[in-house]
């Protein structure tokens, strides 16, 4: 993986909610924004899903830090406060970014947390650099190809076309992705997400991420050697049968499973205490 360096940088408050804590990771193809709680605990590196920003972990971060873990959350290429116009938005490239952050936080190894498409990135990273990955946590994971009718794929592409794509995505995100009890700041968060996607180049980056193939991750599932934890909301609208997908993936990985009753695609925001307890217990078992 490529070398990188870190430079602290303050960022606009409309993008970053903890601007004073934001740092920039410089990699050869661009810059990645991240936050780090610091401390001497085991490092947890968490990446959001497509069309989202690192603050999707905002409610689970203090819970994990309170359990003695060091938590670093990162923005994806082109999203949040990271730079735009990257040549590669693949699952493998994002996995390389996660590993670069582990290296430059000077950690011997870390627990990688991937949500949605970055679950695939965590799987790839675990196989490519096993010495740096103590364990992986896959939340609402697209770690393998999920069959869908051709018309559905075409409809999804059409939905994300400009000029209506950004509004369509944020409306779907706000109304459908969080069934059941929503986070108390849900409307504020979605408004900030919408504003971020309105920045030059960001929605194009999102569209590049949105159509990733997860075949590379699927091919590596049998090669993952580290412990794994699969976390799935039982009402996740992205899967025809969320429970079956979680159990099927866990069987392939030999992973533990946490099913969060009634939660959607982002259980870390809807049920942060439940998710933090599971991640902290998982990390503790790694020694």
Residue 197 pLDDT more than 70? yes
DSSP label at residue 253: H
pLDDT at 163 (0 to 100): 85
With contact defined as beta carbons under 8 Å apart, do 85 and 201 qualify? yes
Token code pair at residue 136:
């992986």
State how far the Cα of 175 lies from the Cα of 240, in Å rounded to an integer: 18
Q: What is the largest CA-CA distance in the chain?
A: 50
The full 3-state SS of 68-136, as one line of letters, equals: CCEEEEECCCCCCCCCCCCCCCCHHHHHHHHHHHHHHCCCCCEEEEEECCHHHHHHHHHHHCHHHEEEE
Q: What is the pLDDT of residue 10?
A: 31
Q: Looking at the DSSP assignment, which residues form a beta bridge with residue 245? A: none
Cβ-count burial 248-276 (b if 16+ within 10 Å, e if not):
ebbebbebbbbbbeebbbbbbbbbbebbb
Cβ proximity of 93 and 190 under 8 Å: no
Structure tokens belonging to residue 16: 């970053």
Of 71-75, 89-93, 147-151, 214-218, give the lowest mean pLDDT range: 147-151
Per-residue pLDDT band at 6 (split at 50, 70, 90): very low
Per-residue pLDDT band at 18 (split at 50, 70, 90) = low
Domain spans, the chain: 5-285
Q: Is this structure's pTM higher than 0.75?
A: yes
SS3 content of the chain, % helix, strand, coil (to 5): 45, 20, 40
132 φ/ψ angles, rounded to the nearest 5 degrees:
-95, -10
pLDDT band at 98 (very low <50, low <70, confident <90, very high): very high
SS3 18: coil
Tokens of residue 27, six digits = 């990699």
Q: How far is CA 197 from the centre of its chain?
A: 17
Q: If you average pLDDT over every residue of the chain, what do you get? A: 91
Contact 180, 264 (CB under 8 A): yes
Q: Convert the pLDDT of each residue in 265-277 to its tens digit.
A: 999 999 999 999 9
Is pLDDT larger for residue 20 or for residue 51?
51
Q: What percent of the chain has pLDDT over 90?
A: 83
Mean pLDDT, range 64-78, rounded to an integer:
98
Q: CATH assignment of 5-285, given 3.50.50.60, 3.40.50.1820, 3.40.50.460, 3.30.70.141?
A: 3.40.50.1820
* Average pLDDT for 86-106: 97
* pLDDT given at position 157: 72
Residue 17 confidence (pLDDT): 52
State the average pLDDT over residues 148-174. 80
User: Mean pLDDT, to the nearest integer, of 130-139?
Assistant: 98
- pLDDT value for 11: 34
């Amino acid at each position: 993986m490529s070398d990188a360096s870190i430079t602290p940088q303050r960022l606009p408050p409309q993008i970053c909610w903890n601007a004073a804590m934001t740092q920039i990771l410089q990699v050869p193809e661009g810059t990645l924004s991240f936050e780090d709680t610091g401390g001497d605990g085991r490092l947890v590196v968490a990446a959001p899903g497509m069309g989202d920003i690192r603050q999707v972990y905002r409610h689970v971060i203090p819970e994990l830090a309170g359990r003695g873990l060091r938590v670093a959350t990162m923005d994806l290429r082109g999203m949040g406060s990271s730079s735009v116009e990257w040549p590669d938005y693949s699952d493998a490239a994002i996995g390389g970014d996660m590993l670069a952050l582990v290296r430059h936080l000077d950690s011997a190894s870390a627990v990688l947390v991937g949500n949605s498409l970055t679950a695939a990135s965590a799987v790839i990273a675990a196989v490519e650099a096993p010495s740096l990955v103590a364990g992986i946590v896959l939340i609402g994971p697209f770690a393998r190809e999920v069959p869908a009718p051709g018309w559905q794929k075409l409809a999804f592409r059409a939905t994300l076309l400009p000029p209506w794509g950004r509004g369509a995505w944020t409306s779907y995100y706000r109304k459908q992705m969080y069934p059941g009890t929503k986070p108390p700041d849900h409307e504020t968060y979605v408004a900030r997400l919408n504003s971020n996607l309105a920045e030059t180049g960001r929605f194009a980056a999102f569209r590049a991420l949105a159509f990733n193939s997860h075949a590379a991750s699927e091919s590596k599932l049998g090669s993952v050697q580290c412990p794994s934890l699969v976390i799935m909301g039982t009402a996740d609208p992205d899967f025809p049968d969320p429970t079956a997908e979680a159990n099927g993936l866990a069987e392939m990985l030999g992973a533990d499973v946490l099913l969060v009753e009634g939660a959607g695609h982002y259980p870390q925001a809807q049920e942060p205490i439940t998710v933090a307890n599971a991640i902290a217990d998982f990390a503790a078992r790694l020694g």
